[in-house]
Amino acid sequence: MIRAATLPSECFFGRNPGVFGGNFRAKATGTVIFFFKEITVKNPAMPLARGNPRYPLDRLTSLIAAARADMVAAEAEAEKAEADIAAIEPHPHAHGQTAGGDCHYAGLQPGHRLALAGLLARPWRLSLVKLEVAKLEHKLDYLLKTFPSVLESGGGVLAEEGATALTERGEAVADKFAHKPMLGIGLVWHRFGFNHRDRIAWVGAFAYRGGLSQLVDGTASVDRDTALGDALTATVKTYAALLAPLGERELHARAARRDAQRQASWSSVPEAYREQGPWRDRAPTKGQRHMMQRIEAARGLPMIEIGSRGDSSEWIADAGGNPRFQPSTEEQR
């Protein structure tokens, strides 16, 4: 409902206005008109709580409970998926390639294959002590690096014992992977229980700073007649929680050394080529794009687009390089 009211203008101007003649321009004074609108609210934006005044709180509590139930269900599904993946047996070559790669890092050669099998088939205590003594004598940081010298000192006897051991364990004496010699050496380890899934703990065992023989001696399933290879396998499985973090640190340290070597190699290139070489105008490499993605992911930012290979190189350098090898905040303190 709308109604108009005419109020005395002296309430505002202090004197009586003249009579309004219908022409606003002709008169300096006029009648002040107010419009009042009576509004009846039928549907308020915030309805009054009906019934239990705690209803909103109860509703929120039920939503939180439902969300937690969904989280539990999702975690259960994820655990089941991980278990299903773990149940899939890796390809046999995965075991050989992983162990073979570590043997290559430690300096083993293709000709060590039969002697390695012979050493792994011998009782563990004397063999392992000999390896640990060689590690101390040569001041090595990784037990597997002592294998080449110990194998070579064993002569042909170890090779003969190795041929017998491989036959007993169902492996051909002749290396059927002669075109991939390190794969053949890696599969020797697989015959003594090495598994691709345990690779990080195996690295941790060889990087263990204490006496590995003490860990082996404390493994329940190992006795004095257990073969070295079998004893190492049982120890790795028993102490996986202890050895896996050591393996992670060892592998990270290797990768950091490789990265430092690449940086040093690039720094040795003549400055004129690094700063003005024709490579700078080419498209970014796949490795550069991958590195930039890692850097931006570490920053929590979306991937950016850099024009040329030279610009990408400078951008990566300005960002500090591979974030994997940048010291953490705790390490900087």
pLDDT bucket at 332, cuts 50 / 70 / 90:
very low
pLDDT at 7 (0 to 100)? 45
pLDDT bucket at 37, cuts 50 / 70 / 90:
very low
Mean pLDDT, range 82-90, rounded to an integer:
74
DSSP 8-state code for residue 326: S
What percent of the chain clears pLDDT 70, i.e. is strictly above it? 82
Mean pLDDT, range 40-53, rounded to an integer:
51
Residue ranges of domains in the chain: 2-37, 92-247, 282-326
- List, for residues 123-150, the tens digit of each pLDDT value: 999 999 999 999 999 999 999 999 999 9
Query: 36 in helix, strand or coil?
Result: strand
- Reduced DSSP (H G I as helix, E B as strand, rest coil) percent helix, strand, coil of the chain, to 5: 65, 5, 30
Are 113 and 183 contacting, i.e. CB atoms less than 8 angstroms apart?
Answer: no
CA distance 222 to 26: 117
pLDDT bucket at 5, cuts 50 / 70 / 90:
very low
Residue 229's nearest CA partner among 305, 169, 295, 317 is 169
pLDDT at 273 (0 to 100)? 94
pLDDT bucket at 84, cuts 50 / 70 / 90:
confident
Are 106 and 134 contacting, i.e. CB atoms less than 8 angstroms apart?
Answer: no
Query: 37 in helix, strand or coil?
Result: strand
Q: Is the pLDDT of residue 258 over 80?
A: yes
Residue 151's nearest CA partner among 192, 119, 104, 123 is 119
| Sole residue written with tokens 């796949």 | 286
CA distance 125 to 15: 120
Of 123-132, 258-267, 305-314, which has the strongest mean pLDDT?
Answer: 123-132
Mean pLDDT, range 263-287, rounded to an integer:
92
User: Residue 224 phi/psi, 5° resolution?
Assistant: -70, -20
pLDDT at 140 (0 to 100)? 95
pTM summary value: 0.69
User: In the chain, what's the furthest Cα-to-Cα distance?
Assistant: 133
Cα-based distances in Å from 135 to 76, 114, 123: 46, 22, 19
Mean pLDDT, range 67-85, rounded to an integer:
87
Mean pLDDT rounded to a whole number for the chain: 84
Q: Name which residue leads in pLDDT, 17 or 276.
A: 276
Residue 290's nearest CA partner among 322, 243, 318, 254 is 322
Q: Name which residue leads in pLDDT, 320 or 222.
A: 222
Choice among 55-64, 106-115, 130-139, 276-285 with the minimum mean pLDDT: 55-64
Mean pLDDT, range 221-234, rounded to an integer:
96
Mean pLDDT, range 171-188, rounded to an integer:
89
Choice among 18-32, 87-101, 291-305 with the minimum mean pLDDT: 18-32
Q: Is the pLDDT of residue 24 over 60?
A: no
* Token pair in block for residue 100: 């073979």
- Residue 32's beta-bridge partner residues? 7
Mean pLDDT, range 54-58, rounded to an integer:
78
pLDDT bucket at 174, cuts 50 / 70 / 90:
confident
Query: 234 in helix, strand or coil?
Result: helix
Q: Is the pLDDT of residue 98 over 80?
A: yes
Q: Name which residue leads in pLDDT, 192 or 181.
A: 192
Q: Name which residue leads in pLDDT, 181 or 19.
A: 181
CA distance 208 to 221: 20
CA distance 36 to 19: 24
